[in-house]
Amino acid sequence: AQSVAQPEDQVNVAEGNPLTVKCTYSVSGNPYLFWYVQYPNRGLQFLLKYITGDNLVKGSYGFEAEFNKSQTSFHLKKPSALVSDSALYFCAVRDTGTYKYIFGTGTRLKVLA
């Protein structure tokens, strides 16, 4: 079965410092991987995706993610965190057989001023 793990419930980082939010996956076949962000009282918003090609994917709001096939990871990164980046972040994988999207449990990012 396909699955996604986000090992950290919360990540704290100082404003201006680099941030990483971790995600590992388990899939059969080639993975379709996504990151979404949820601000309070809002729906999820798409940040970026990996389908194929370059392992470093760039997305919205200065975020990027690195696909690592050998470590089955797709960590979200940003070189310099902003207080406004504080939100709940979800990693997801699309099941290549059923086209269902499977989400991790989410990581709350808190950027401290």
The contact set with other proteins (CB under 8 A) reads: 6, 9, 32, 34, 36, 41-46, 49, 51, 90, 92, 94, 98-106
3-state secondary structure of 52: coil
3-state secondary structure of 83: helix
In whole angstroms, what is the distance from residue 54 CA to residue 66 CA?
Answer: 9
Q: How far is the CB of 50 from other proteins (least distance, A)?
A: 11
Q: How far is the CB of 6 from other proteins (least distance, A)?
A: 8
Q: How far is the CB of 73 from other proteins (least distance, A)?
A: 18
Residue 2 to residues 25, 56, 91: CA-CA distances in angstroms? 8, 22, 13
- Residue 80 or 105: the one with the smaller Cβ distance to other proteins is 105
